[in-house]
Amino acid sequence: MRKTDLVFWTFLTMTGLAGATTVFNVTQTYSASSPNSELYRQLDLFGDVFERVRSDYVEKPDDTMLIESAINGMLAALDPHSSYMSPKNYRDMQVQTRGEFGGLGIEVTMENGVVKVVAPIDDTPASKAGIQANDLITHLDSEQISGLTLEQAVEKMRGPVNTPITLTVVRKGKDEPFDVKIVRDFIRINAVKARAEGDIAYVKVTTFNEQTHANLVKAMDSLKKEIGPKLKGIIIDLRNNPGGLLDQAIAVSDDFLERGAIVLTKGRNNEETQRAQARPGDTADGKPIVVLINGGSASASEIVAGALKDHKRATIIGTRSFGKGSVQTIIPLGANGAIRLTTARYYTPSNRSIQAKGIDPDIIIEQELPDELKGKAPEKPRGEASLRGHLRGEDEKPAAAEPATKEAEPSEASGESKEEQKEESGSSAYVPKEPEKDTQLQYALKFLRGEATGETVAKPAVPPSGNPSADKPVPN
């Protein structure tokens, strides 16, 4: 009897333990799967709506269009810079960032329904064929341009290298339109335009594509030889530069810095913080530098301006920049295009967030609008902070950054710490075509020659510890 009782109670105890373990595991499984259950329920909802649209919409919709629009809507809901790129848009983006493509070599715009040549690019098929500025192109391979958008016309003019195209051209002084046959060739977009302004080297960087760093080094070497020992300083014009490739912004900054941090990128997790570091070598040979910025200077432009400002390597002149301080990663989707996804924020070497704040100039110089534009410009210039759904700025400093100053420097205009100021970015983006009417450029020239006085309304940022002071034409 005693043995029977022992077996019975042992069996009962084991059964109880097994039951408790089962209940615990089921509870844990349910708890872990609950979020996924809700996710799948939402996906079922999407499937139901998709099928209802396909079956009941007044006209038969395009399934691909519906899916692409749904994906783009999901990404657009995150922030203004995340988006879906169709295969065609992805290819166009790659052409833009490479800075080279098969084409004719002309900058064009649209005027009265026809393509107008802004300027032929030197040593290209269009230039060699005699195409001139202000020529009007009415037909492409005998097909009328009227009715096409500028993008559609440019796409038709671009194409595989060594393939011909015939342009029908209307030129002032010619009684009749005439045809010009051109064979496409590799066209490289020069992202850097440079010239000597007397004893000052003027370098305008229009975008940050794969050619920018190499073009800048080439332009600087040429200007130093042209101006010679009388060179007093360099102006780097980043106004209306919308940005581009991060590695090119880092390389351009490195061209003028001997050492120290250039930019920090902080992602979702602290361990994803990365820092780009400058290497020895200054292409300006220590000469004074002015960087021009305005409300059209964004992203990569702000990285360059912020790095040179924080190291006191340059004086920033103009108006507050756009304030796009976020990193977009291009994630290919095979034959289905790609997505552009915001994955990190930018910080200057002094741990200052660019996002929705921008770069404040050391010297504020407003560019006066001409009479014909007064009243037409928006009262409040648009910047990142004014974009609907923009990524919020972040005051937290990246852990891997170089130490910032103990106290944030106050703004003389507001008396507030820069880190405490509310989100505000952007300013006027108008730049006159004539250099003599360009107030910001003319002030920069006087500043480098020691002729400018007054106008200083903000101090340069304190350099990081341990570091030295220091409608656009479309090419085709």
- Residue 216 parent element (H or E): helix 212-227
DSSP 110: E
Active site (annotated) includes residue 135: no
Polymer length in residues for the chain: 476
Report the Cα 472 to chain-centroid distance in Å.
15
Active site (annotated) includes residue 310: yes
Q: How far apart are CA 361 and CA 326, in angstroms?
A: 20
Pure H helices in 311-409: none
Active site (annotated) includes residue 324: yes
Among all chains, which residue has been given the structure tokens 């708890």?
Answer: 31
- Residue 397 parent element (H or E): none
- Residue 343 parent element (H or E): strand 338-347
79, 254, 255, 310: the active-site residue: 310
Q: How far apart are CA 408 and CA 414, in angstroms?
A: 13
Residue 8, C-beta contacts closer than 8 angstroms, at least 6 positions apart: none
253, 299, 353, 427: the active-site residue: 299
CA dihedral sign, ordered 121, 126, 132, 136: negative
DSSP string for 290-307: EEEE-TT--THHHHHHHH
Angle between helices 246-254 and 212-227 (to 10 degrees): 30
Backbone angles phi, psi at 346, to 5 degrees: -90, 145
Judge contact between 143 and 167, C-beta under 8 A. no
Catalytic residue numbers, as ranges: 299, 310, 324
